[in-house]
């Protein structure tokens, strides 16, 4: 009686095993110059910022080693805490609404109807405006004397003070402006993902008696995962480093992590070391956010020999 043999797993030799293969060794050597250039251009500024963040450096030169004291002072700085709070609230709320509204728009314009091309072009109009122009335009509408939004909100009793004089109202307004401007970008990415889903899958599900809700959660959302990852990751990282929208719309009154870095390093230069520490903090947290998204969406890639 013959016995079934289990397939043996291929042994992985690691980096040494890779270089023992002549073809792979040649491939690595051919791309090595490009990798060195990329590493130099991309990682040298990061490493230099890390070094500056752990010294008592000023704009005139590198100071003595300070360890993590700049990071401790940074977290004790009220301006940094305010910027961190505003950035987190802005990122979470704006990306949430952009995803919900963008997915609804993508599902709507993915259907075949008369004038679909015109509707798709019209949806992208807010995204076509530069951020600074959008911020200035909305700031004029939020002004207490000539702003139509401020006038209507006061008439309805929604607010009792000018929007631009209250930082909480400013943050809410910035979230609204960002949702208005970048929801079309989210919808465009999700629409591209929807168009890659074969229509035969939906037809087969209809034959099996699946309802609209069942088709959405069993077919659309699972097959839309790659597009969801790209859309949510791009928008989260972009919102997390918000700068121009805050400064242009609030006239530099609304603090974020990026404005804290720019103020400390470029403008006042009084918090040069803390500004570098904050820039390293932004990089590390953004990198961790990217890893969380990739891990959460199950997009790990498996390599095969």
The enclosing domain of 135 has a CATH number of: 1.10.3720.10
* Same domain flag for 62 and 85: no
Q: Which of 56-65, 116-125, 153-162 has the lowest mean pLDDT?
A: 56-65
Number of helices followed by number of strands (H, E) in the chain: 16, 0
In-domain check, residue 91: yes
What confidence score (pLDDT) does residue 11 get? 47
For 31, residues 6+ apart whose C-beta sits below 8 A from its C-beta are none
Instruction: Determine the average pLDDT of the residues in 25-29.
Output: 81
- Print the domain residue range for 134: 78-270
What domain count does the chain have? 2
Place of tokens 């042994």: 11
Place of tokens 């990282």: 237
- Is 68:280 a contact under the CB 8 Å cutoff? no
What confidence score (pLDDT) does residue 78 get? 92
In-domain check, residue 115: yes
In angstroms, the CA 46 to CA 279 distance is: 9
* Same domain flag for 91 and 233: yes
Last residue of a domain, one of 69, 93, 108: 69
In-domain check, residue 39: yes
Place of tokens 């590493």: 39
- Which pLDDT band holds residue 3 (cuts at 50, 70, 90)? very low
In angstroms, the CA 234 to CA 193 distance is: 15
In-domain check, residue 29: yes
Instruction: Determine the average pLDDT of the residues in 108-130.
Output: 84
In-domain check, residue 184: yes
* Same domain flag for 180 and 97: yes
Q: Which of 2-16, 17-31, 220-234 has the lowest mean pLDDT?
A: 2-16
* Same domain flag for 108 and 255: yes
* Same domain flag for 126 and 190: yes
Asked if the model's pLDDT at residue 219 lies above 70, the reply is yes
In angstroms, the CA 291 to CA 123 distance is: 31
Residues present in the chain in total: 305
In-domain check, residue 205: yes
């Amino acid at each position: 009686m013959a016995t079934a043999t289990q397939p043996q797993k291929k042994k992985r030799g690691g980096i040494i095993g890779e270089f023992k293969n002549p073809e792979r060794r040649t491939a690595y050597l051919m791309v090595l110059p490009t990798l060195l250039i990329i590493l130099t251009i991309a990682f040298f500024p990061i490493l230099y910022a890390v070094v500056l963040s752990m010294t008592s450096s000023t704009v005139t030169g590198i100071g003595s080693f300070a360890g993590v004291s700049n990071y401790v002072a940074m977290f004790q700085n009220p301006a940094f805490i305010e910027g961190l709070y505003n950035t987190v609230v802005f990122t979470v709320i704006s990306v949430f609404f952009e995803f919900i509204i963008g997915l609804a728009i993508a599902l709507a314009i993915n259907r075949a109807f008369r004038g679909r091309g015109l509707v798709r072009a019209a949806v992208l109009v807010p995204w076509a405006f530069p951020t600074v122009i959008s911020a200035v335009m909305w700031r004029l509408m939020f002004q207490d004397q000539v702003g139509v939004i401020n006038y209507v909100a006061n008439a309805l009793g929604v607010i009792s003070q000018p929007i631009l004089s209250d930082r909480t109202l400013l943050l809410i307004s910035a979230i609204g402006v960002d949702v208005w401007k970048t929801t079309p970008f989210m919808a465009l990415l999700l629409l591209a993902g929807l168009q890659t889903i074969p229509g035969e899958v939906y037809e087969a599900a209809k034959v099996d008696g699946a309802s609209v809700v069942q088709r959405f959660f069993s077919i659309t959302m699972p097959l839309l995962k790659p597009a969801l990852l790209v859309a949510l990751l791009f928008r989260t990282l972009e919102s997390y480093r918000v700068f121009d929208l805050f400064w242009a719309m609030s006239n530099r009154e609304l603090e974020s992590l990026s404005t804290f870095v720019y103020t400390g390093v470029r403008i006042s230069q009084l918090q040069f070391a803390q500004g570098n520490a904050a820039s390293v903090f932004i990089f590390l947290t953004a990198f961790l956010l990217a890893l969380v998204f990739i891990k959460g969406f199950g997009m790990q890639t498996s390599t095969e020999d």
